[in-house]
Amino acid sequence: MTNHWIDLKNSDCILVMGSNAAANHPISMKWVQRAKDKGAVLLSVDPRFTQTSAKADFYTALRSGTDVAFLGGMINYIVNNNRYFKEYVAEYTNASFIVGDKFDFADGLFSGYNKEKRSYDKSTWAYKKNDKGTIEKDPTLQNPRCVFQLMKKHYSRYAPEQVSGITGTPVEDLLKVYDIYSQTGVKDKAGTIMYAMGWTQHTVGVQNIRAMSMIQLLLGNIGIPGGGVNALRGESNVQGSTDHALLFHILPGYLKTPVSTFQTLEAYNKASAPVSNDPMSANWWQNYPKYSTSLLTAMWGDAAKKENDFGYGWLPKIDPGQNFSWLNLFDAMYDGKIKGFFAWGQNPACSGANANKVRAALAKLDWLVNVNIFDNETGSFWKAPGQDPKTIKTEVFMLPCAASMEKAGSITNSGRWAQWRYKAVNAPGDARPDGDILTDLMLRVKKLYKAGGKFPDPILNLKWDYVDAHGEFDPIAAAKQINGFFLQDKEIAGKQFKKGDLVPAFGLLQADGSTSAGNWLYTQSFNADGNNMARRGKDDPTGMGLYPKWGWAWPVNRRILYNRASVDASGKPWSPNKAIIEWKEGKWVGDVPDGPWPPMSDKEKTKYPFIMTAEGFGRVFGPGLQDGPFPEHYEPLECPIPNNPMNKQYINPTAKIFSGKMDQHLTCDPRFPFVATTYRVTEHWQTGVMTRWQPWLIEAEPQMFVEMSIELAKMRGINNGDKVKVSSPRGEVGCIAIVTTRFRPFKVAGIEVHEVGMPWSFGWITPKDGGESVNLLTPNIGDPNTMIPESKAFMVNVIKS
Amino acid sequence: MPGYSIMVDTSKCTACRGCQIACKQWNVLPGTETRNLGTHQNPPDFNFNTYKVVRFSEGSQPDGKAFWYFMTDQCRHCLSPGCMATVENGEIIQDEKTGAVLYTPKTKDLDFNAVREGCPFDVPRQDEKSKLIAKCTLCFDRITNNMIPACVKSCPTGAMTFGPREEILELVGKTVDGLKKKFPDAKAVNADEVRVIYVVTDDPAKYYKYMAGR
């Protein structure tokens, strides 16, 4: 979230699209309700009429996988009807930037496309620069090669009738949503978006969010209370796990995983820290070397010295273009290239797209360690229905771990608030906190390397002093190291710091090895003031629900990102009812500002508000993505229509398509005529590993179901409550039919298209007759930027069983 | 008529079912075995171990648009409880201070059909074996110990409010007035006769056939 949960109450118009907040983030509706109580409008756009739709002021449907078309139409509407916030767009976004002559778009392809590699040469999307290396701009937005005009041209193709033919949304409904939402493009109104996996799990997942980010920039909704682009994270600490580099392509704090071509820390830093020739751009990432060096010293302690490049050579490197994301990992596992696997707090046998392939891949392993609080379909994959345990060689180890209330530690919510949790009870039986299991594992690996092994340095030198006097993992010690220490006495700007002092905030981190920080973004979370994540102060000085002394938010306790875009050139809020920061008597008051510099009117000392982009401006044009600088509609890998009404490309031209024996997909095929999507229910947590054992929850949602329209049910002779079989080219799942008026057929490209929806909360292990995972049906194709699978739009058949 | 009341503002209910689960948790009631019957409503109805059911009701409005109404159903704690019609020996009591209608172990001696039929909202349920009759207690053990009912406590959106009856009646009036701007048919259901007062935005029968009584 650029903003945070409580801030939803400050909104004037809340669009819920790509999520079903009422069911999956129930408490968020408390703040949505507060906004509604003050007159805010709630819009719900979803293939299915959901619990959120039931509370909305206006609901309309779209076919799964057509969000870019829907939002592209909104951009077109905003431009044509002059609904954009002109001053904001001209001053704070890159709408005024001139794009280089090489940039072009034709037949659904941007310039620089390489058909063999299915990728773009992004250098053709570069901005035009003058002799001094600064970007050429036209603040009047009239230059035909400026971002605004290129954008206008691109989305002029997304007229309401055209969009309606793709999404299946009636034209008058499109116009109603566009009209209501774009009314927030004025100074005293804020519109916000609540999205989740309904936007991400597509081959155009990132572009869905890009399209909304463009809308938010055009309407001046970024940086202000009640605005922003807000991802509702699907797991209570998924924000924290991402910040701390759960994913392969990042190191903690969104530093880049080193590539083998960068052999020295200097080469790595140079390639990672962007350069700006514009003195008004803060270009915050120019501080990259401070953060990377502090990470290395946090990892290897005293062994990280200037002479050995602070241990940079010990970091694992990937080869250029190598991608170790989920789909690729399980593809490699299926091909027998991976021997051992830790399934830690996860259930890939049910959560992985094309789960039959995942389950087959698990059988190719030599060993599997399943760390979880309950047995699950992953740990017991070898005895699943249809499996012959005698033929499976995989040795499985089950390690019971502590549940969240059985261990202390921090948890970071969607709004970036890190909150410390105390341990309530001891874990039962042999169950241990994850930190203890990890520590035990690491110390044993170290011992083995001591006895010999290839390249032992990174293991033997690894600093691992996160153990208390009882030999148990000490989360406080880990939290302090994440914050970071001074490693020597140091004077900075006249202030003295002693060796061993906690670093007060990341502005003081150094690139010379004199500081350490396990995650620069969290520097300030645990400093001389104490464990700031454990704070429970209830003061709300701005009255806007920031609660600055409750827990701690990254970065530096800033509650609303890009908040310097909420004020005009003189530092005054665009509107008094949207005041989150203000320049008063030579300083900022309110939220922690995005940097201390004075407002834009002080041309000498100011910096542009979007400090995390090299150029300092919000990006309407996004030249960094794999699949184009402007979102364009492409059909899902599996779709119900024979061509893409928008352009000559059928699917995303950069999406990675797997083509092995188990990577089946069929598009516009009469055997699989219905669009399908997946979702969660309130009662079950992810694949249901924790909740399917809970009698009250399983009583409320006992069985796998498929929701379908009355029209589809009639066509297939299905009655409400019947047992049915849903199949895709990859598998089949037995379901109970819920025949409902909440799904309606779509008119798409002149034909009638039906859609069905299923939860992904079930699996064979429990309860009895609960049913199987919907992921036996979903395709393993990924978004080219994130490789997230397209679980939200694929094709199935439904028959009575 | 003093005592307490609950207002259920259905316009704020999202059917998260926190109240249904909280009720089971506080009262230490077992989960019953259920099947999906083509609806999310489960358990499908009250039973001896289920005092609270979130009812789901869907259909099309006259303009063709879908509606989906949610109603967290429970004992209304009537001011003149119909279920007490055949009570002679204190099998069911009405607590004077709180207004809670409470079923005692003596309910096993009552004619269950008379009790059930006496309830306009079809709430009481009997255990076949022990013949005991059970339903919501207004969390009598909580409200007499300075705690609000478990269901009210669990509600994330503020759809349920508990308090002294006069205050709740005032709130009901304000809530209905506020809702009328958007929903001209907004009204309170049986506010003068029951302690658990539902505020609806449409015909109560569209939420549940017995919402306003049989």
| Nearest CB neighbour to B157, from listed A33, A695, A700 | A33
Chain A CA closest to residue B68: A54
Structure tokens at A403: 């549940």
| Nearest CB neighbour to A742, from listed B18, B66, B69 | B66
Residue with tokens 């803060």: A282
| Record: contact B14-A51, CB cut-off 8 A | yes
Q: Which of A49, A696, A709, A743 would you mutate first to test chain B, the one with the most B CBs within 10 A? A: A696
Let me know if A115 is exposed, middle or buried by CB neighbors in 10 A (0-12, 13-18, 19+). exposed
What sign results for the dihedral spanned by CA atoms A496, A500, A501, A504? Answer: positive
| Record: contact B69-A741, CB cut-off 8 A | no
Quote the distance between the C-alpha of residue A553 and its chain's center. Answer: 17
| Record: contact A26-B18, CB cut-off 8 A | yes
User: Average pLDDT per run of 10 along chain B, which is 214 residues long?
Assistant: 94 98 98 98 98 98 97 98 95 98 98 98 98 98 98 98 98 98 97 98 98 96
Q: Which of B9, B11, B16 would you mutate first to test chain A, the one with the most A CBs within 10 A? A: B16
Which residues of chain B does A701 touch, with a Cβ-Cβ cutoff of 8 Å? 36, 40, 42
Which residues of chain A does B67 touch, with a Cβ-Cβ cutoff of 8 Å? 54
Q: Given this model, what pLDDT does residue B1 score? A: 64
Which residues of chain B does A29 touch, with a Cβ-Cβ cutoff of 8 Å? 14, 16, 156-157
Q: Is A23 on the interface with B (CB under 8 A)?
A: yes
| Nearest CB neighbour to B31, from listed A699, A736, A739 | A699
Closest by CA to B137, choosing from B185, B179, B95, is B95
Cα–Cα distance list, A303 to A185, A444, A460 (Å): 54, 20, 10
| Residue A22 Cα, gap to closest chain B Cα (Å) | 6
- What is the β-pairing status of strands A191-195 and A13-17? parallel
Whole-angstrom Cα Rg for chain B: 17
Q: What is the pLDDT of residues A746-772, one digit of tens each?
A: 999 899 999 999 999 999 999 999 999
Q: Is A55 on the interface with B (CB under 8 A)?
A: yes
Task: Count CB neighbours of A665 within 10 A.
Answer: 22
Tally A–B CB contacts below 8 A: 112
**Helices A355-362 and A326-334 meet at what angle, rounded to 10?**
50
Enclosing H/E stretch for A676: strand A674-679
Q: Is A53 on the interface with B (CB under 8 A)?
A: yes
| Record: contact B35-A736, CB cut-off 8 A | yes
Which residues of chain A does B42 touch, with a Cβ-Cβ cutoff of 8 Å? 699-702
Closest by CA to A352, choosing from A337, A365, A334, is A334
Q: Given this model, what pLDDT does residue A309 score? A: 98
| Record: contact A23-B69, CB cut-off 8 A | no
Q: Is A39 on the interface with B (CB under 8 A)?
A: no
| Nearest CB neighbour to A738, from listed B11, B38, B66 | B38
Q: With a cut of 0.95, is the ipTM above it?
A: yes
User: Rounded to 5 degrees, what angle do the CA atoms A639, A642, A643 make?
Assistant: 95
| Residue B103 Cα, gap to closest chain A Cα (Å) | 23
Residue B119 φ/ψ, nearest 5 degrees: -85, 120
| Residue A237 Cα, gap to closest chain B Cα (Å) | 20
**Helices A265-272 and A288-300 meet at what angle, rounded to 10?**
140
| Nearest CB neighbour to B34, from listed A26, A699, A744 | A699
- What is the C-alpha separation between A476 and A271, in angstroms, rounded? 34
Q: Which of B34, B36, B72 would you mutate first to test chain A, the one with the most A CBs within 10 A? A: B36
Which residues of chain A does B58 touch, with a Cβ-Cβ cutoff of 8 Å? 740-742
| Record: contact A696-B59, CB cut-off 8 A | no
| Record: contact A736-B31, CB cut-off 8 A | no
Which residues of chain A does B152 touch, with a Cβ-Cβ cutoff of 8 Å? none
Q: Is A38 on the interface with B (CB under 8 A)?
A: no
Residues of B with CB under 8 A from a CB of A: 11-12, 14-18, 20-21, 24-25, 30-40, 42-43, 58-60, 65-70, 156-158, 182
End-to-end CA distance of chain A: 44
| Record: contact B66-A699, CB cut-off 8 A | no
Quote the distance between the C-alpha of residue B75 and its chain's center. Answer: 4
| Record: contact B68-A53, CB cut-off 8 A | yes
| Record: contact B20-A700, CB cut-off 8 A | yes
| Record: contact B14-A55, CB cut-off 8 A | yes
- What is the C-alpha separation between A123 and A624, in angstroms, rounded? 10
Chain B CA closest to residue A36: B12
Residues of chain A with pLDDT under 50: none
Three-state SS string across A333-402, please? HHCCCCCEEEEECCCHHHHCCCHHHHHHHHCCCCEEEEEECCCCCCCCHHHCCCCCHHHCCCEEEEEEEC
Q: Given this model, what pLDDT does residue A386 score? A: 87
Q: What is the pLDDT of residues A292-313, one digit of tens each?
A: 999 999 999 999 999 999 999 9
- What is the C-alpha separation between A608 and A93, in angstroms, rounded? 10
| Residue A34 Cα, gap to closest chain B Cα (Å) | 9
| Record: contact A705-B12, CB cut-off 8 A | no
| Residue A418 Cα, gap to closest chain B Cα (Å) | 21
